Amino acid sequence: MDSIFYAFIVLMFVAVVLAFEAIYIWWNSRHGAAAKRIDSRIRALSAGGNVNKERLSILKDNMLKEATLFEKLMMQLPRAKSLDLLLQQSGTHTTVARLGFTSLIMGLGVLAVTAILPVPLPVVVAPVAALIAGALPYLNVMRKRSKRLHKLEKQLPDVADTMSRALRAGHSFASAVGMVSAEFPEPMGGEFRITFDEINYGVPLNEALLNLANRVPIRDLRYFVIAVLIQRETGGNLAEVLDGIGFLIRERFKLFDKVRVLAAEGKLSAWVLSLLPLVTGGAVMIFNPKFLPVLWEDPLGQKMLGGMVVIMLMGILWMRKIIKIRV
Give the tens place of pLDDT for each residue, 156-178: 999 999 999 999 998 888 899 99
CA distance 96 to 88: 10
**Mean pLDDT score, 121-150:** 86
Say yes or no to pLDDT of 30 above 70. Answer: no
Name the DSSP class of 117.
Answer: -
Give residue limits of the domains in the chain: 3-31+49-148, 251-323
Best-predicted range by mean pLDDT among 71-75, 94-98, 109-113, 316-320? 109-113
> How far lies 159's CA from each of 84, 113, 154, 232, 290, in Å?
27, 50, 10, 19, 61
Q: What is the pTM of this model?
A: 0.68
- The band of 62, judged by pLDDT with boundaries at 50, 70 and 90, is very low
CA atoms within 13 A on the CB side of 214: 20
The CA-based diameter of the chain, rounded to the nearest angstrom, is: 92
Task: Name the band, by pLDDT with cuts 50, 70 and 90, for residue 262.
Answer: confident
Instruction: Inform me whether the pLDDT recorded for 23 exceeds 70.
Output: yes
For the chain, what is the mean pLDDT? 79
Residue 22 binned pLDDT confidence (cut-offs 50, 70, 90): confident
Please say if the pLDDT value at position 75 is more than 70: no
Complete DSSP assignment for 153-219: HHHHHHHHHHHHHHHHTT--HHHHHHHHHHHS-TTHHHHHHHHHHHHHTT--HHHHHHHHHHHS--H
What is the percentage of the chain residues whose pLDDT exceeds 90? Answer: 12
How many percent of the chain have pLDDT more than 70?
A: 80
Instruction: Calculate mean pLDDT across residues 56-67.
Output: 49
Q: What is the pLDDT of residue 141?
A: 92
Q: What is the DSSP letter of 227?
A: H
User: Who has greater pLDDT, 228 or 120?
Assistant: 228
pLDDT score at 194: 87
Residue 28 has pLDDT above 80, yes or no: no
Question: What average pLDDT does this structure show over 50-57?
Answer: 48
Q: Does residue 59 have a pLDDT over 50?
A: no
Question: Among the ranges 20-24, 94-98, 105-109, 308-312, which has the highest mean pLDDT value?
Answer: 105-109
Average pLDDT over residues 15-33: 73
Q: What is the pLDDT of residue 318?
A: 85
Q: Three-state DSSP class for 307? A: helix
